Amino acid sequence: LQQRRGIRLSAPAAIQVTVRDALNQALDEELERDERVFLLGEEVAQYDGAYKISRGLWKKYGDKRVIDTPISEMGFTGIAVGAAMAGLRPVCEFMTFNFSMQAIDQVINSAAKTCYMSAGSIAVPIVFRGPNGASAGVAAQHSQCFAAWYGHCPGLKVVSPWSSEDAKGLLKASIRDDNPVVMLENELLYGVPFEMSEQAQSKDFLVPIGKAKVEREGTHVTLVSHSRPVGHCLEAAAVLAKEGVECEVINLRTIRPMDVETVEASVVKTNHLVTVEGGWPQFGVGAEICARIMEGPAFNYLDAPAVRVTGADVPMPYAKILEDNCIPQVKDIIFAVKKALNI
């Protein structure tokens, strides 16, 4: 009515939402939308989650929908996979993906391969989620990135969010997908606020699995990353812009299936490629991107070899100064860009 009278209405402003709250919101909306969805894992119910991702959900939905489990990843992951085969849609939380090693037989041999081995007759709609990669000061056995491990396996979809919109949209899309999905979050991002658009605040908001996002347009070099290092790439791009170098920053969002087309289109434009990841270099996500570019049409547009920025090829040290030197920093990305551009 106000619009008809010629009164100009301001568009609803975007709001600041932390990644933690975005994940909580996604779980709440999907638990409410579909009674087949349930959450299980260590401390997810009465304690509200080790990282408070499931805050308030047990009180709202009760013991049958939000389930505390014993400290036995192999056991509760097997229960979740069986529940998915029987028609439910479990969300299985690992307190850290390092602990998913205890259950990797269930994730790979039971969940990932069943749809193929049953000729498509058995769907396994399950989400395995939790923090992945390095946190801060937790040493080698809690600081590993599993993007390349799970991205290697046919039958799985693997997503790796950066922003709050990524986190909410990818989790909702993963819960609704009929395939097993591994969702690799980052503990150090949980408390970070990001702008969330009006569209992303909708209960119908989804981020399509398998589609990357160009976070910053550029013309001189393509930076491809996922999870927390996307932020480092944007910081590096801001510094390099002051020196006249315009970086195009691509947030992969999905590791498998990988959106190679978006990366190729960018490389065709910029003629240079730098990949950035927190994982180890050998057989890593960056190595796969470089191989796919080399094998495809974009290779002919490269004016220099692609450069990878990765974590150090060592188990993560405990000491902070050593840890900092094992994780890609903004200065490492700037150095790699200048190497690629020969400046």
> Any idea which residues carry the catalytic annotation?
73, 142
Structure tokens at 118: 């049953």
Give yes or no for a contact between 94 and 67, defined as CB atoms under 8 angstroms apart: no
Our measurement of the distance from residue 249's CA atom to the centroid of its chain's CA atoms, rounded to an integer in Å, reads 16
Give yes or no for a contact between 113 and 67, defined as CB atoms under 8 angstroms apart: no
- The residues near 262 (Cβ < 8 Å, ≥ 6 apart) are 211, 212, 214, 250
Residue 257 DSSP class: S
φ and ψ at residue 289, rounded to 5 degrees: -60, -45
- Report d(CA 213, CA 88) in Å as an integer: 31
Give yes or no for a contact between 19 and 129, defined as CB atoms under 8 angstroms apart: no
> C-alpha dihedral over 30, 106, 316, 338, to 10 degrees?
-60
Separation in Å, CA 30 to CA 23, 33, 84, 115, 171: 11, 5, 16, 23, 9
- Report d(CA 244, CA 165) in Å as an integer: 30
Rg (CA), the chain: 21
- Report d(CA 246, CA 103) in Å as an integer: 44
Residue 226 DSSP class: -
Separation in Å, CA 18 to CA 43, 78, 170, 256: 21, 31, 15, 25
By CB atoms closer than 10 A (0-12, 13-18, 19+), residue 192 is middle
- Report d(CA 153, CA 146) in Å as an integer: 11
Structure tokens at 243: 């020196």
